[in-house]
Chains A and B, each alone.
Chain A
Amino acid sequence: MAVSDLIPAEEGRGLYRALAFRRILVICGLIVALAFSFSLDLALGPARYPLSEVLAALIDPSGADLQTRVVLWDIRMPVALMAISVGACLSLAGAQMQTILANPLASPFTLGISAAASFGAALGLVAGVAIFPAAVHYMVPLNAFLMAMAASLFIYLMSTVRGVTVQTIVLLGIALVFTFNALLSLLEYLASEQALAAVVFWTMGSLTKATWGKVMATFAILIVCIPFFARHSWALTALRLGDVKAASFGVNIKSLRLKTLLGVSLLAAIPVSFVGTIGFVGLVGPHIARMLVGEDQRFFLPAAILCGALMLSATSVVSKILLPGAILPIGVITALVGVPFFFVLIFADRRQSW
């Protein structure tokens, strides 16, 4: 087997190009599905509109009558966009947590970020405590955000300590989950009936309080984080081969892991503070993306974003179809609708599982 025996082989190159093309098609399919789901989300509600009317009002708002314009653009649009942006943020956060921690169970839940946010919200709802007293009006989301970021920063700082491994970080996250859940239970035990109901509703997650400002904020954090992850896509993919192998490729593992952890902290904290706890998307969105396009981050990154966005948007649609007029907690519906679909994917392609 001498080097001079090397024969130019075209087969592998062609197959690789075909594989990459198939993955691009999958991503295009997800975009189309998301656009369809988004349109349906706008069309459905107490007043139903044909899709053609929705599309016409989207393309030319001035051509639609006042009522249609108000319903579609002012009432339903922020909620529909919030579903997309929150789903995208949580799924992207879960995807990169799973990547940098080499753990299939990693998600904003695992590191205690969601639990910290819930505790922060409960502090406001039950005890009326504003962590940032200057903005009492936004006490609940701000408390949730600040507690989520505090949990993230704690994890971030711990991970900079010499000798701390990814397993230690996951264990620290689990410890945070138990700590904040215990504190939340204590607050719930002490809460009035009314406050207790508010806390329970908040922790189930809801899109109904979406505003344009919140939509902009969640999209803004996506716009900040996506270019960073895209720029480091080869290095992030290499992390999945193990630290030693990635380092041998020239990846600065410590720096990449810390920066990514900071990014995913923001991606998880901001949406959770706006919509409450939605756990399923951050855990399962990345797994669905992985099954569809593998773990090359050039494909995995957009697929994870789209899967998360599609899951939450489709959930919003399904909940409107199943129980018209009822406002159900989005976190609960997401899991109920998503689990059967996830099972189908797992058993359809067991080789591709983590």
Chain B
Amino acid sequence: MVTLQLKDLGARYGSTLTVEGVSTPVFSGGELTAVIGPNAAGKSTLFKRIAGLLKGPGEVVLEGNKASPRDAIRYMPQDTHANAVLTVYESVLLAAKQGEGWRVKDTELIEIDQILKALQIDGLAFRNLGELSGGQRQLVSIAQALVRRPEVLMMDEPTSALDLYRQVEVLNFMRDLARRQGTLVLIALHDLNHALRFCRNTMVISGGRLMAAGPSQDVITASMLRDIYRVEARVEACSRGENHVIIDRSAA
């Protein structure tokens, strides 16, 4: 099963180091790991650095089955609007075929059919990308990320434009997929209750630094919410015994 560890990792835009000194325990595949933090904390930058899209100091230690980190790691950016004259189906095929020849095999199309169906967007398959809503575009982005069967998948706020039903469906789907395929899924989230419910581990990023990493129940605490998010909040178990974040007010 794939494992990932970050050792003193930093990322720079030009000459500016925007993320630095990120060292984590070893994360294993098969589970979701939440990456949380305030806006502009450096979550997306960290993802891009892990995916090799940005340069910087430190090391990404990856042990898995695929030959190179480039093949093993897939980054799904935040929602990006595209007005290309491409259908949803073509855009997913496009993600699958990068670096390959023109010929499209039946097995590749079957895989796309399965992914679209699993994400319940098979009905959109032949709609143009420009006609999609923000939520639909996010689901297409997830399909594009999944089609390469990555060992490590980093999803940047994949549920931000989805309604509640879709949020729960997508996160359930990702958790099942991770367990079934042994994929290590890092998800940047703003909804901390989703992090508590769906993600075994959580990393907290603030000001370009890793503030905490570990089991979600241990990391998402009232003191962390006060220090990092500047809110007074309680983390309490509900009637089913699951922890939930209850916000009282912003901290003074």
Residues of A within 8 A of B (CB): 1-13, 15-17, 19-20, 162-163, 230, 233-235, 237-238, 240-242, 244-245, 247-251, 290-291, 294-296, 298, 351-352, 354
> Taking CB as reference atom, which chain B residue is nearest A238?
B94
Say how far B251's CB is from chain A's closest CB, in angstroms.
Answer: 34
Say how far B50's CB is from chain A's closest CB, in angstroms.
Answer: 12
By a CB distance below 8 angstroms, the chain A residues around B74 are 248
Given A1-B120, A12-B122, A249-B95, are A240 and B86 also a contact pair (CB < 8 Å)? yes
Check if A295 sits within 8 Å of B84, measured CB to CB. Answer: yes
By a CB distance below 8 angstroms, the chain B residues around A295 are 84-86
Check if B113 sits within 8 Å of A241, measured CB to CB. Answer: no
> Taking CB as reference atom, which chain A residue is nearest B180?
A3
By a CB distance below 8 angstroms, the chain A residues around B142 are none
Q: How large is the interface on B (under 10, 10 to 19, 20 to 34, 35 or more residues)?
A: 35 or more
CB within 8 Å: A-B pair count: 132
By a CB distance below 8 angstroms, the chain B residues around A294 are 85-87, 90
Check if A234 sits within 8 Å of B100, measured CB to CB. Answer: yes
Question: Interface segment, B123-131, B214-222, B224-232?
Answer: B123-131
Sample 27 A-B pairs with CB under 8 A, ordered by A number: A1-B118, A2-B173, A4-B180, A6-B118, A7-B114, A8-B113, A12-B113, A12-B116, A13-B109, A13-B112, A13-B113, A16-B109, A19-B87, A19-B126, A162-B14, A163-B14, A234-B97, A234-B99, A238-B94, A238-B95, A240-B84, A241-B129, A245-B80, A249-B98, A294-B86, A296-B86, A296-B90
By a CB distance below 8 angstroms, the chain B residues around A19 are 87, 126
How many Å lie between the Cα of A238 and that of B180 in the bound state? 29
Say how far A262's CB is from chain B's closest CB, in angstroms.
Answer: 21
Check if B122 sits within 8 Å of A11, measured CB to CB. Answer: yes
> Taking CB as reference atom, which chain B residue is nearest A294?
B85
Check if A6 sits within 8 Å of B126, measured CB to CB. Answer: no
Supplied contacts A235-B98, A242-B82, 8 more A-B pairs, CB within 8 Å: A2-B176, A9-B116, A10-B113, A16-B89, A234-B97, A234-B100, A237-B86, A295-B85
